[in-house]
Amino acid sequence: MPSIEDWVNSPLKIVQNLYDQHGTEYTNKVKEYFSKKLEERNALSCIPSLNQVALHELPPNSLVKFRCMIQDMFDPEFYLGLYEVKNKQTGKGVMKVGQYKDIAECQADEEVQVSSERNVTMDRQQFYCVPIPGEADWVKKEFSKSDQAIEMPSTSSEPVRSKRCFDEEPSSPCSMVSSTCSTLSQEMSPRMEDTEMVSSPSPMFGESKKSKPGESNAAPSSQQLPDLNFPLPGEKGPACLVKLYDDSDTFKVNDTVEFVGVLSVDPSMAKFPSESVQLDFVIDPLEDMMDMAEHNAHSPPSSLVPRLHAVMSYKLEHVNPYLPRELSKTPSQSCKFIGIESILSQSKVVRKEVISLLEQALFGDNLAAEYLLCHLISSVYARRDVVAVGKFSLNIIGCPKPDEPLQEYAPRLYHLIGNFVTKHHFLPMSLDFMKAKLFSPRKDYSANRLVSGILQLASRTHLVIDETRLQQGQLDATGVKNVTALGNLISWQKVDYDFNYHTQEFTTNVPVLILSEGKSLLPSDCRVHLTPCLPLDNMSYLAAVESYLTPSLLTKIRSYIGLLSLIEYSMSDGMQKSLEEDFVEARKDNAQNMSVEDFHGLLVLARLLSLSYGQTNLSKDMWEKAKQMDRERKARIPK
């Protein structure tokens, strides 16, 4: 039985052995094998992570994992799933597996039979993936601490392959086999579905055979560094081109996924296609029609954008390291997981701590603290036509302006919130920022890729908008589009992606908090006027809150907020009837006393209040508390 070092360090050997044993049925056997291995206790934590380990420290062709967001989906790619290799001396041919590889492997005394009738051409889906935008530093640190990946020596010196037989002449079959396991590999387009594949150089092909050792792995110059297409500015971490062999229909753009697969960083893919040497053999007629920008975008150097051939994939419901990877669909089943029942039982105690901290950060305003907590645990849990049910965007009015003594209040409050939630981003809503940045993603047809924007965010990313920085002035066309995009995100939880001649709606789940001096120019589900009980003269209150956050308390709060935004909530038939009677009674004298929108807002507030107390069913007490909070909030609105 292979040890963990074997199946993690040399997964391609395992795949080849399974093919040798089971023939064409090997595909299912591969998935069964790795699925069984990864189900073993702590097996996943023993696999190195691209999120934590530098790329140059990872052995090529070893098993790695990558926690990411799907930023774009490229066209499927043809490759040689099975190919024949013949020994030059004996003439004996054997079949090799081309899955989970970018390069068709052969020894120095072997050659790939490109024209063999035994070769099998397959296709695979390509995802361009980036680190999860706005993922909190504490999340990364916790995952890093739990990573038990063993130190594995590099296997790059093992004589497994001859690096595309660099010593051969360019016309030799082995040197003609390039980054997609053969020169037959091409990106599939609708026009190529019924087109016979012919030999042509891959964009990542063409490394000069005269290149000196070590030069192929060198990073391109600064002028050649590509835009890694991160949605948020300042993001760090590797982008990755993930190649998926099954279940590709289960994923979509903006999904958060953890892929486990074979790392491919072959030297032949170390340059941009525009730098590659064109070889003298038949070129696909479609090759000339493809813009070099598309080649560069889809085939960047592997030293910057490694390839990951997925053997397993896990769609992430959340990225909270304190919670189980998968939560069940009902509260009763959720409680069987270790820690879930404990979190719910301590909800009232933890809630009291959180309210105390938020109240201090909001200058002693208990009502604003209650609303802010409800906002932090809010999440879209259903969609009814165009309505995103469960969203609870909040506008806190009366925040100090940047030119007042408390200049950095909004960033400090955002920093406090960032200690509690797993994904977050701060958006300073100044005129210059609104004019300069791209909020909605757009399609770049010359490069055939989706150019990301600030609003291309993963589900449950908390967006904090600092409107206190907005000054008088006029927005340009870009600024107007950005404001409109923010408004649509808040109102409908959707973002319109720009495809030049049309727009495409992408649904999202992004809680939005707006900090403003007066009423925000953006819409919101709830507006709370801040009523300070403490003087607005310094930031000592926030400093005191931050000093109070011990590691043990932070763990409780993060588990509490993370769980409450995920668990199910229900309402009994008797409670529904009671609410209907309450609604009718409130409208008896005057229909304007309780509009349909007001009633819906109360239902959302009551749901969040119940969850904040660890209750998954609405009670009469929580309903009355929600109505009382709503009356107090409305009483603060200036006449």
Rounded to whole angstroms, the Cα distance separating 68 from 70 reads 7
Check if the beta carbon of residue 454 is closer than 8 Å to that of residue 427.
Answer: yes
Tell me the pLDDT of the chain averaged across its residues. 82
Q: Pick the closest to residue 94 from 158, 16, 14 (CA basis).
A: 16
Check: CB of residue 609 under 8 Å from CB of residue 623. no
* CA atoms in the 13 A half-sphere facing the CB of 34: 29
Q: CA 536, CA 543: separation in Å to the nearest integer?
A: 14
177-to-60, 331, 534 alpha-carbon distances in Å: 18, 54, 71
- Interhelix angle 620-635/573-586, rounded to 10 degrees, is 30
383, amino acid identity: R
CA dihedral 370, 372, 375, 377 (to 10 degrees): -70
Reported as a single tens digit per residue, the pLDDT across 140-179 is 999 998 876 544 444 433 333 333 333 333 333 343 344 3
Q: Is 179 helix (H, G, I), strand (E, B) or coil?
A: coil
Sequential DSSP letters for 409-442: HHHHHHHHHHTT-SBEEEEE--HHHHHH---S-E
Distance between CA atoms of residues 79 and 277, nearest Å: 21
Q: Could you tell me the CA-to-CA distances from 515 to 93, 122, 138, 395, 438 in Å, in that order?
A: 69, 53, 24, 6, 21
The C-alpha atoms of residue 269 and residue 21 are separated, in whole angstroms, by 32
Written as six digits, the tokens of 18 are 């399974």
Q: For residue 630, what pLDDT band results from cuts at 50, 70 and 90? A: very high
pLDDT band of residue 274 (cuts 50, 70, 90) is: low
Least confident of 77-81, 218-222, 336-340, 605-609: 218-222
Q: What is the pLDDT of residue 490?
A: 97
Q: Which two tokens stand for residue 461?
A: 């990313």
Q: What is the distance between the alpha carbons of residues 533 and 363, in angstroms, rounded to a whole number? A: 6
Residue 4 pLDDT > 90: no
Any idea which of 1-5, 442-446, 565-569 has the lowest mean pLDDT? 1-5
DSSP assignment of 157-190, as one string?
TSTT--TTTTTS-TTSHHHH--TTSSTT--B--G
| Locus of tokens 């600024």 | 479
Q: Provide the pLDDT confidence category of residue 418 given band limits of 50, 70 and 90.
A: very high
Strands (E), 175-296: 240-244, 256-264
Neighbours of 532 (CB within 10 A): 14
Per-position DSSP letters for 517-583, written without gaps between them: SSS-SS--SEEEE---SS-SS-SHHHHHHHHH--HHHHHHHHHHHHHHTTS--B--HHHHHHHHHHH
CA dihedral 130, 134, 140, 141 (to 10 degrees): 150
What does the pLDDT average to over 122-140? 96
Task: Give the torsion sign (CA, 249, 255, 256, 262).
Answer: positive
- pLDDT score of 340: 81
CB atoms within 10 A of CB 102: 25
Tell me which DSSP letter residue 228 carries: -
State which amino acid sits at residue 317.
Answer: E
> In this structure, what token pair is assigned to residue 495?
């973002």
pLDDT, one tens digit per residue, over 175-233 is 334 433 433 333 333 332 332 332 233 333 333 333 333 343 344 443 445 679 999 98
Residue 24 has pLDDT above 80, yes or no: yes
Residue 85 confidence (pLDDT): 93
420-465 tens-digit pLDDT: 999 999 999 999 999 999 999 999 998 899 999 999 999 999 999 9
Give pTM, 2 decimals. Answer: 0.85
